[in-house]
Structure formats: structure tokens, C-alpha cells
Chain A
Amino acid sequence: MLRRTFIQWAGLGLAATVLAPSVLSAEEKQKIVSPNAMKFTDALDKVTGGKKVSESSKIKLVAPEIAENGAVVPVKVDVESPMSESDYVKRIHVFASKNANSRCASVELTPANGEAYFATRLKLGGTQDVVAVAELSNGTFITAKQSVKVTIGGCG
């Protein structure tokens, strides 16, 4: 019920706008150039600090194969983690590989979140990969991606 209510807000476009800017403190914002203005590989590097990102079955990305509406593509990220003080997911990042502003969302998590789960809706400028990246508390990064097709529609 809670999860559903949360997604409901996300559906209204509120969660995304509230959450995304909250990732960075004002101090951090001054220090770095926002990855929002970057292309995918640069934005990814910015977020990971150039560290290796490995594909993992622990991060689950759920997105449609073919978007019903490219302007609001539902995306869910679920990371398998104990979410304990010593082992938790610090951040979840979502990218659209070909959007001009490639980073769509970054969410900060703590063990208090209980589970590493995030859902939002993305606006996709065209057919491309949606990429989810999770930053773990040990400083490593894991990722999952899926191609999402944006089409005018075919014929049944």
C-alpha cells in the first residue's frame, strides 16, 4: 500500500522533482558540475568517479520493452541488499543513454530505508537503453540495463 502510494505520487511527477535535487547538498553542488548536463558516459563517470561498474543479477530493473507512451515510461529499480549498517545501498542512479540530459534520477538511501527500491517515470526522447546503477556501501557499483523502444506504433 505504501509502495503503491509512493508510485502514485511518482506518477504525478512529484516524487521525481522532489527527490532528484535532494541528492546533493548545497555545498556539494558548488563543488561539482552537475551530471545532468552531460552525455551518458560522462554522466556515468561523474557519478561513479570513474570506477568500474559491473553487471549484476542483484540489481533488478523493470521497464517495458516497448513504451506505451515515451513521455512517461515507468521504471522500477530493486536492489537485493541486507540494508544493514555494514552492507547497504547508498545510492540508486537512473540514466537514459541517449537523452540529452542523460541522468534522470539519483536517490540517496540509508539502512533506515529497509529496502533499496525506487520507482519513477522517465521521459525518453527515443528508443534507447535505460540504465540503473547502484552504489554500494563498500564503494563498488553494480548496474543493469534494458532497451526501451519508443515507437509511433505498429499494426496489430
Chain B
Amino acid sequence: MDISRRDFFQIAAALGLLGSAGCATSGPKRVDDLSAGDIMGFESTGNVTLLHICDMHAHLKPLYWREPSTLISAPSLVGTPGFICGETFRDFYGIKSGSLDAYFDTYLNFESLAKKFGKMGGIAHMKTIIDAVRRDRGADNVLLMDSGDTWQGTGVALKTGGEAIVDAQNYLGVDVMVGHWEFTYGKERVMELLEKLNAEFITQNVIDNDPFSDNFEELVFKPYTIKEVGGAKIGIIGQSFPFTSTANPKHFTEGWSFGLRTDTLQSYVQELREEKGVDCVVVLSHDGFSVDQEIARKVHGIDFILSGHTHDPSPRPITINGTVIVIAGSHGKYIGRLDLDIKNKKVVDYKYKLIPVAANIIPADPAGLALVDKWYKPYDAEMNEVLGRTKGTLYKRDTFHSTFDQLINDAIRDTMDSEISFTPGYRWGTTVLPDSPIIMDNVYDMTAITYPEVYTFELKGSQIATLLEDIADNVFNANPLYQQGGDMSRLGGMTYDIKVGGQAGKRIGNVKVNGQALQDSRMYKISAWGGNLQNAGSNLREAMIKPVYDVTRDYIKRQGTVNISSDSNVNVVDYGCGCPKTGNVCS
């Protein structure tokens, strides 16, 4: 991972930037016979390049991130992009087993490939790719677009109130962004950070909702921006996460109203084309991959949607009604490169590549390493503390159960002495390889939010059943427009059966609490973080409220070594495997 002037020239030479005068003297750094040049290799097309990142979740440093081994959805969506994983993903995109792409895009052989290929992402490595493209294309012909979920997700982000990440975005040269978790810093902090951000923040679907405000019913942010790039006029409309006010605590955005707002989206597309005369309409979105496929069906005249939120890597774009949709994974693992050929006020051709940021192969830019050091330094002692070790892989993702979540659930139930624990089905976090130390930074990677409180309270059995059904419908509704794009909440102390394709309100059965059938009229002692279940409960134990990262840290320290079973507590009755193909076929 050391960087030198020579490394730079090697990449430049590989990309043909130095012409015949290239002065690389030895072969580039290779893993599995891949060089940085191979990874970044791209046959330039047209006059404009859009670089796209999404859902970095504040990961300034490289990390391990394992893709899901279970990604279950409503039967009609199974096997479609946004709902494929593992073998199904590999076959759908024609990826070679054991390759760098298989390592980045699937969970298959993750642990052994991790040893071979190493960590992913990191701003210093992303910057090397971005700079190479800017040099190749000419800086004025390149835009860097960020689909949001950038400011939140690590300890350093939380402790600096998002500032470290804004600094990193300025360093990377982000031009335009939208948001979701950004809003969980609260309205005032969002506005403060936007002052520091060099990029434009655009959003057509956040409206002032305070009837006493002078701006009532008016846009909070600029809905779109027009950029002149490579001789073309590109209109970019911003779409922030439509369900921020239901998925995250309302108080952070009190007075702002979200929503998909497809009617105004359509009118901005028209405005850009007819009044502003743009050559190309791009929607920079945090709707989620499947929701954006629905948007392409409902809203006409969009050329490209740069999607985010659902963390899907999509090696190939998909086209619906003439709208091309791309999404670039999560955690800084990828940079999407979209070259556009715009002629006579029309997009005549495009080319796309999802570039994996393989930190052991793509050299780091020294300024990026220095920036990371600067922001981490005050917290190094806390972040690098070894809390314990794990025997198996600790990971986040999967539709119902993942090991790092199980560890957090174990920690909460042990600490709070509660019967059931609920933890959120977010898709951000980290992966810790087997037989490795767990450091505090890893715990923050899983839990660093502005509302970390673990609440302990009581819920009636019948309420728990209703809540589970409610959450299940947010995840498994057959219409993507009614999904919120996360996974099922994680439960400690509880097992259940689910028929994913069942009717809303009738999917879940055979619910057991610590081996005993759930009783409708009995009160249960519940602990939960990251949601709003405590608002539905009674008898809140105020004295027991404690941040989840402290609860988890102390538990791991008490345990010394953790050994979490990968057995799920959920029995899916209508699917035979975690990564089914279309028609519910398991390979």
C-alpha cells in the first residue's frame, strides 16, 4: 500500500497516459496477475465522464466488506437486479469464481479471497482512480457524483459531526450530492456542513412542511443543477431518500417533508429539456435500486439514474423505458465510470464500468493517507483498542440474520437482562475476518449513529406480532415503491417462521420467545436501538438507557473471544436458499 512516484507512473503507463515516453521501469503491482491498469482499464467513449459513488458510509480507510449470502424479496422480484446475491449474482453477470470481481461482488469464498486480495475502498485509493480518469479525460470533462449516505457510518464521522467526511469529499472533488443519513445530524448541522462542502447539494423531494414558516410548501434545496461538461449541457436532478422521516427519527428533520414526489420529478425533467435545453437529463438518486427501476417506468425522459441506498453492486447498467440505471455498491468499494457520447444535443452512446477499489492493487494517494491520519489522530487510542477476538467471520447484511448483528443482540440482552432484543436491518457496517482481533473502530463501524441509545421497555405479545408484520411489509412488499430498502430487523431471544410471499399482515407464524410460544396477552421485556419501537412500548427503564457502542464494547471485553453461530433464528418457509434465481429456483 506504499505509494511512490513510480507507482503513479506505472498506472499512468498502464492507462496509456504517458504515450511512448512512458518511463515505468518494472512491472506494476499485481495480485492474481491483475495490475491497477487492468482494474482501471477503460476504452474511453465520447466527450463526458460521470464518476459515481454511493453509500460510502464514511469509510475513509479501506475495509473488508462481505456481500450478502441471503437476499430474499417478494416472489415477483426474486432474481431481478437489486435482489440477487451469491451464485445467482455470479451467474447473472457472468463473473468468474475466485476472481477479484467475485470477491468484491459476492460472499463466495470470501474469507480465502480476502487473504488474497485484501481490503477494499479507502479515499486515498479512490482518489488515485478519480485522478487517473481526470487526467485521461481532461478535468473539465469529468463530474464526480455522490448519491449520499456518505457522512455517517464510522466513529470518526460521528465524533467529528460529519466534518471529517466533508473534508474527504472536498479532497475527492465531489461535484454534486444528495442525502439520507446525512439528515440524521439534524437540520442545523446539515446546513453547517453544506457550507463547508464544495459540492452542490441538490434535492427535489424535500419540501418545507411547517405551516407557520414563510417557506411553507417550498423547496428546501435547489432541485437541480446544470453543468456544462465536455461541450455538453447536463441537467442533474437530486432525489434524496424519500422515506427519511419514517426510517429515521422524525425530530432530526422536523418541518421538512420527504416522499418520492414523482409528479414534481417529472415536471423538472420537462423543465430541463424544454425550458433549459439540456442535452442529457441525469437523476442523482438515493431512492434504492429497485425503486429507481419503478421511477424509470413512471417518469419519462430521464437519460440516466445514478442510484444509491440499497448497496447493490451492479456490474452492468440496466435499461428501462430508455432510462439507464447504475448503482455502485457501498462502503467505497467501487467507483462507477460512465462515459457519455453527446452529439447534436442527444446522448448517442455510453459505456459503463464498475471499478473495484482494490486497496492492495490500486496505490494510495499520499495526500489521502495524510488526510485520514489527521482526522483519526485524536481518536486513535480509543479506535485501535483491541476489545477481544472473533473465531468466525463477523459480518453485516443478509435479509434476516448476520453474525455481527447477533453479537450486538447478545451484548444487549446480556447487559439489559431482557427477553427480546431488536436491532436494525441497516445495510452498512463492517466485516471482521475469522480468528482476528475486534477493535473499537469495528464496533463504531456497526453502530455509529446520532441516536445510539439502547432502550429497555415492555411490549405486549400481540404488539410484537403486529410490529413484526409491519416491519416485514416494509421489506417484502411486492411493490418496490412501498419498500424502505433495508433488511428485516434483527431479533435476539426470538425465533419465527416467515412466508415472504404471504399477504401483508399474515407472513409470520410460529413465533417463539426463548423457546416458548409468544403469548398475545403477556408483557415482554424488550431492548432495542436504532428504531422507534420504544415509542410503542410502556414502562421505559430510563436509568438503563446506554449507547449501543458502549454496550457492545463492554460485552466483547467481558467475553474475550466470541464465537457466533451463523445459524439464522428465522425459518423462511417459501424459499429453499438465500440467493434464489428467478422463479424461486435454487442452484
Contacts and interface: CB of A to CB of B under 8 A. Distances in A.
B334 interface: no
A50 interface: no
Interface in A60-109: 60, 62, 64-69, 74
A61 to B, nearest CB: 10
Contact of A152 (B243, B257, B424, B470): B470
Interface stretch (A7-15, A24-32, A38-46, A110-118): A7-15
A133 B424 CA distance: 40
Contacts of A69: 250
Interface string B531-546: 1110110000000000
Contact of B475 (A4, A62, A154): A154
B229 to A, nearest CB: 32
Nearest to B485: A156
Interface residues of B, number: 44
Interface string B54-81: 0000000000000000000000000000
A156 B245 contact: no
A67 B484 CA distance: 12
- Which of A60, A64, A65, A69 has most B Cβ within 10 Å? A65
Contact of B246 (A4, A60, A153): A153
Contact of B482 (A60, A65, A74, A156): A65
B287 to A, nearest CB: 11
Given A152-B470, A153-B247, A155-B425, A68 B530 contact: no
Contacts of B437: none
B484 A66 contact: yes
Nearest to A78: B263
A12 B213 CA distance: 12
Main secondary structure of the interface of A (DSSP, over half): loop
A85 B243 CA distance: 43
Contact of B532 (A4, A127, A153): A153
A147 B486 CA distance: 21
B211 interface: yes
B115 to A, nearest CB: 32
A118 to B, nearest CB: 15
Contacts of A67: 246
Contacts, number: 87
B490 to A, nearest CB: 9
Contacts of B481: 65
A68 B246 contact: yes
A155 B486 contact: yes
A150 to B, nearest CB: 9
A147 B477 CA distance: 12
Contact of B484 (A127, A147, A154): A154
Given A4-B216, A155-B426, A156-B244, A64 B259 contact: yes
- Which of A12, A151, A154 has most B Cβ within 10 Å? A154
A7 B208 CA distance: 13
B435 interface: no
Interface of B: 180-181, 211, 216-218, 241-248, 250, 257-260, 263, 424-426, 467, 470-471, 473-475, 477, 481-482, 484-487, 489, 504, 530-533, 535-536
Interface of A: 4, 7-8, 11-12, 60, 62, 64-69, 74, 127, 147, 149, 151-156
19 contacts: A4-B217, A12-B211, A62-B263, A64-B259, A64-B260, A65-B482, A68-B259, A127-B473, A149-B477, A152-B532, A152-B535, A153-B246, A153-B531, A154-B246, A154-B471, A156-B180, A156-B243, A156-B484, A156-B485
